[in-house]
Amino acid sequence: MSSMYKMFNLLMIILMMMMMTLDSFDESVGRAGASSPRSVARMDGDIIIGALFSVHHQPPAEKVPERKCGEIREQYGIQRVEAMFHTLDQINMDQTLLPNITLGTEIRDSCWHSSVALEQSIEFIRDSLISMRDDKDGISKCLDATPTPQGRIKKPIAGVIGPGSSSVAIQVQNLLQLFDIPQIAYSATSIDLSDKTLYKYFLRVVPSDILQARAMLDIVKRYNWTYVSAVHTEGKVNVSKQFAINIV
């Protein structure tokens, strides 16, 4: 259990540094070339951190069955990938943080869609299972002399950062917790994710929607408003819906 909390703390530090990096980025992003929706960005290291970022938009309605993602998200998606690489570079260069240990990453595209995110999460788990199998069989001892067909050593994912959407994060957590893989989200705000009995391997660096709903309610009380309309979309993850529930 202590090792899990250490990994949570490490993921928290990485996320905080990423946010500082994103704040310093210019609004205009450099040219982004065409990329496959299933492309994977990797950085080698002793410890591998998984990441699910929405590099592309959601699949169009007619492409959902094929899980074919939409256009690339230059600012939202590419910035997060670059921020992840920059953050890990800064950590690895500072020998006072993790002496003799380097952090690596495997970044996959969630496309802000649950089916794509689950597909990519399965790949995280698959790599971890392959690594555990190789370690058990003693294969990893000779991998330096005989590289894998992909030219890299399979390593287990120590934890996962993301995805951004609450509804997607919930489904990913349901899968990751079966394999005891910690997950930290940077923008998933659903109050459901606060339930540790259901999502025991999940943490986040943003407050849940319940606090926003309470703030809206405090404003209503402060000005003695007697009539309020709350408009919300269907689904659990919605600040306005939570506000409506509280005010009733």
Give the model confidence (pLDDT) of 209-248 as tens digits: 888 888 888 998 899 998 887 776 666 555 555 555 555 5
Q: How many residues does the chain have?
A: 248
Say if residues 221 and 211 touch (Cβ distance below 8 Å): no
- Give me the torsion for CA of 12, 18, 22, 24, rounded to 10°: 110
> What is the structure's pLDDT at 69?
87
Domains observed in the chain: 2-206 (3.40.50.2300), 207-248 (no CATH)
> What is residue 133's predicted lDDT score, i.e. its pLDDT?
59
Q: What is the arithmetic mean of pLDDT over 146-160?
A: 67
State the chain's mean pLDDT as an integer. 77
Q: Using 50, 70 and 90 to split pLDDT, how confident is the model at 47?
A: very high
Q: What is the pTM of this model?
A: 0.72
Decide: helix, strand or coil at residue 127.
helix
Query: Which of 127-131, 141-145, 182-186 is least confident?
Result: 141-145
